[in-house]
Amino acid sequence: MTTLWAVYLTVCAGSTCVGQEVQRFDPPNPQAQCKVMLEAYSAIPKDGDWDTVEWQCLPLNGAST
């Protein structure tokens, strides 16, 4: 079984947080591809009134550890 990876974005304002999948990566090397793009996404300036902006690479439909 092949594991797909995805970049996820989570933003929070106060105690309200929302998240979404931004981009997914297929084999070969989905984790490595995800990490490369994570750097690019992390360089995007924060906009809006968010208290926190978090970008993560995780297995598709996975949970953070």
Q: Does residue 65 have a pLDDT over 60?
A: no
Count of domains forming the chain: 1
According to the model, what pLDDT value does residue 50 have?
95
Residue 65: inside a domain, yes or no?
no
Q: Does residue 51 have a pLDDT over 70?
A: yes
Q: 57 to each of 15, 42, 49, how far by Cα in Å?
A: 23, 11, 24
Of 9-13, 27-31, 34-38, 46-50, the one with minimum mean pLDDT is 46-50
Residue 25: inside a domain, yes or no?
yes
- Give the pTM: 0.87
Residue 50: inside a domain, yes or no?
yes
Q: Which residues share a beta bridge with 59?
A: 5
Please state the separation of Cα 53 from the chain's center in Å.
10
What are 11's two structure tokens? 């933003």
Q: Which domain holds residue 11?
A: 5-59
CB burial string 18-40: b at 16+ within 10 A, e below: eeeeebebeeeebeebbeebbee
According to the model, what pLDDT value does residue 37 have?
98
Q: Does residue 61 have a pLDDT over 90?
A: no
Length of the chain: 65
